[in-house]
Amino acid sequence: MASIMMRRLPGSFRHFSSTSSSRSAAVEVKRIGVVGAGQMGLGIALVAAQRAQVPVTLVDSSQASLDKGLAFAEKLLAKDVSKSRITQEQADSARSLLTPSTTLDDLSSVDFIIEAVPEIPSLKFDIFSRLAQIAPKHAILATNTSSISITRIAASTTKDARDTTNSSRVVSTHFMNPVPVQKGVEIIAGLQTSQSTLDSAIAFCKRLGKIPSVSADSPGFLANRILMPYINEAIICLETGVGDRDSIDAIMKNGTNVPMGPLQLADFIGLDTCLAIMKVLYEETGDSKYRPSVHLRNMVDAGWLGKKSGKGFYDY
């Protein structure tokens, strides 16, 4: 086993040892596509229009979702204007760069695509299989997944494992929520990801004003591997009576200087999302320390998903 691991590690981490090098030319990004007009997708599209000032094609199968997303974008831009963060001219320019679409075919001329749909593996695999055929051969195919293996997503782009033409351009750009506010972004390379693809992802995220952190393609990556057990343990403390809701959140806010406690944060993320990520960590590692809280499962079963449903650990 040791000899196998020693042979595997250099290949697994070959991308990370030279991320700052200039050996490979990054793709020049003049136009991007975002798949998914929900909170994350809309945030990514808006930041790209504002910071990188590139045309963005925002794709969603639902016209209602597109309308809702663009209305929210206009609300955010208006808020920035009212607070003198940007001028009305800058807001109008950013809005003009956002083009809605209900078909992936409209991504046939972009240089960089970021998928931001729900964490449903089959849905992501289907989208990437289609994008591999639609997007230009130089285009980067990025996913905003928070827990699904990048290697598995990349594998969905080809029927022949020996042909890495498409799979080598798949990478993860996992943005933090809310995207317009949070500077962090995780860059994750799958086994097939080329150095050029990795360099392109890092360069583009920096262009968006983000601070990239590079993670291995391991369950939960960096952010959720650390964050979700913290939230899950806080819920276990609540269900076992170690502390009440307010005490748990107060000690973490006042003791560690975080802006919100773990239970409030779980509500903000969405308890269904927290549960889904904990399930991935538990199932893929087999480690009992990642076992989801029973109380978390019960709350999701009750439809108490946090802020988005109006009720979670707090009422909204």
Tell me: is residue 36 an annotated ligand-binding position.
Answer: yes
* Given the residues 65, 115, 144, 146, the one annotated as active site: 146
174 is catalytic: yes
38 is in an annotated binding site: yes
Is 166 marked active-site? no
Q: Annotation-wise, does 84 bind a ligand? A: no
pTM score, two decimals? 0.86
Active-site residue (options: 156, 168, 215, 224): 224
Say if residue 177 carries a ligand binding annotation.
yes
Closest C-alpha among 136, 110, 137 to residue 35: 110
Does the annotation place 60 within a ligand binding site? yes
What's the gap between Cα 194 and its chain centre? 20
pLDDT of residue 7: 32
Q: What is the mean pLDDT of each run of 10 residues along the chain (316 residues)?
A: 34 40 72 96 98 97 96 96 97 98 98 95 97 97 94 95 93 95 96 97 97 95 96 98 98 97 96 93 94 98 97 98
Exactly one of 174, 194, 232, 293 is catalytic; name it.
Answer: 174
How confident is the model at residue 5, as a pLDDT? 33
Say if residue 39 carries a ligand binding annotation. Answer: yes
- Residue 231: predicted pLDDT: 98
Query: From the centroid of its chain, how far is CA 152?
Result: 16
CB under 8 Å to 146, separation ≥6 — which residues? 119, 174, 221, 223, 224, 273, 277
- Backbone φ, ψ for residue 106 (5° rounding): -75, 5
Strand 170-175: give its sheet, edge to edge.
Answer: 98-101, 56-59, 32-35, 112-115, 140-143, 170-175, 184-189, 211-215
Q: Which pLDDT score is estimated for 24? A: 61
Q: What is the 3-state secondary structure (H, E, C) of the chain?
A: CHHHHHHHHHHHCCCHHHCCCCCCCCCCCCCEEEECCCHHHHHHHHHHHHHHCCCEEEECCCHHHHHHHHHHHHHHHHHHHHCCCCCHHHHHHHHHCEEEECCHHHHCCCCEEEECCCCCHHHHHHHHHHHHHHCCCCCEEEECCCCCCHHHHHHCCCCCCCCCCCHHHEEEEEECCCCCCCCEEEEEECCCCCHHHHHHHHHHHHHCCCEEEEECCCCCCCHHHHHHHHHHHHHHHHHCCCCCHHHHHHHHHHHHCCCCCHHHHHHHHCHHHHHHHHHHHHHHHCCHHHCCCHHHHHHHHCCCCEHHHCECCCEC
Q: 223-239 and 245-256 are packed helices; what angle lies between their axes, rounded to 10 degrees?
A: 140
Sort 133 into a burial class: Cβ within 10 Å, 0-12 / 13-18 / 19+.
exposed
Q: In the annotation, is 146 catalytic?
A: yes
- Active-site entry in 186, 194, 200, 293: 186
